[in-house]
Amino acid sequence: MKKPIIGIVGRPIVSESGRQMVATYLEVCEVITAFGGIPLQISLSNINTLTKEDQENIIRIIQLCDGILLQGGSDFYDYDIFVAQKAHELDLPTLGICLGMQTMACAFHGELGRIKYHQSLKKYVHQIDINPQSQLFKILSKQQLMVNSRHQEVVLNTDLYVCARSEDGSIEAVEDTNKKFYLGVQWHPESMISYDLDARKLIETFINCCRH
């Protein structure tokens, strides 16, 4: 069985010694590997105000990939937006997680709003309601889902299809049903794999879609 290459958009961080780095969460790599994929970090030295050469380099990298994962983090940059838009244009299976979902939403005329910082280590934090007409519903076959939650911003609006909301009306998932797999979720399924079947089903469906 083909092992799909999953391009993970690297997150810029600063090490304890003050050195600038580009990183991928080990947990994300482990989940991709566990479900039969090959993680590949997408990195650039320039993350804002992309030149034409920068854009060409990104395109060359993502053309090596069978799918794209936009991981969580604190801030997204021009290159995150460009990857999200180019993956959509190429109909490359794409999964956005937390900040990754926000990136996808903003890549299509979305807007973010601040909330009181929410960081929880609980297995489940709140319930979401899934639109039964959505691809997310087709994957999970349920309208209600309990999720974890650790984010400081929410999507206020986007041109993408809003397929799930939390109990207070906040956007929890967005997608484009006209694509093979273009789905972003506000929660962290990669952290729920060991105890939640729905998280496993979501990741497994994404990886399998990347095989074709």
Can you tell me the mean pLDDT for 111-126?
Answer: 80
pLDDT of res. 117: 58
167 included as an active-site residue:
no
Over the stretch 155-171, which tens digit does the pLDDT of each residue have?
Answer: 999 999 999 999 889 99
CA dihedral 154, 148, 98, 16 (to 10 degrees): 110
- Catalytic residue, from 126, 151, 188, 209: name it: 188
Over the stretch 168-194, which tens digit does the pLDDT of each residue have?
Answer: 899 999 999 999 999 999 999 999 999
Can you tell me the mean pLDDT for 46-64?
Answer: 91
pLDDT of res. 111: 92
- Catalytic residue, from 65, 106, 163, 190: name it: 190
Picking from 91, 87, 93, 126, the residue whose alpha carbon sits closest to that of residue 107 is 87
pLDDT of res. 115: 67
pLDDT of res. 116: 57
56 included as an active-site residue:
no
- Catalytic residue, from 98, 163, 209, 210: name it: 98
Q: How far apart are CA 1 and CA 121, in angstroms?
A: 35
Residue 122 has pLDDT above 70, yes or no: yes
Q: Are 104 and 96 in contact (CB under 8 A)?
A: yes
Q: 5-210: which CATH architecture?
A: 3-Layer(aba) Sandwich (3.40)
Q: What letter does residue 156 receive in the DSSP assignment? A: E
DSSP per residue, 104-132:
HHHHTT-EEEEEEEEE---S--EEEEE-T
Give residue limits of the domains in the chain: 5-210
pLDDT category at 141 given cuts 50, 70, 90 is very high
pLDDT category at 210 given cuts 50, 70, 90 is very high
Over the stretch 5-50, which tens digit does the pLDDT of each residue have?
Answer: 999 999 988 888 999 889 999 999 999 999 999 999 998 787 888 9
The answer to pTM > 0.75 is yes
Across all residues in the chain, what is the average pLDDT? 93
204 included as an active-site residue:
no
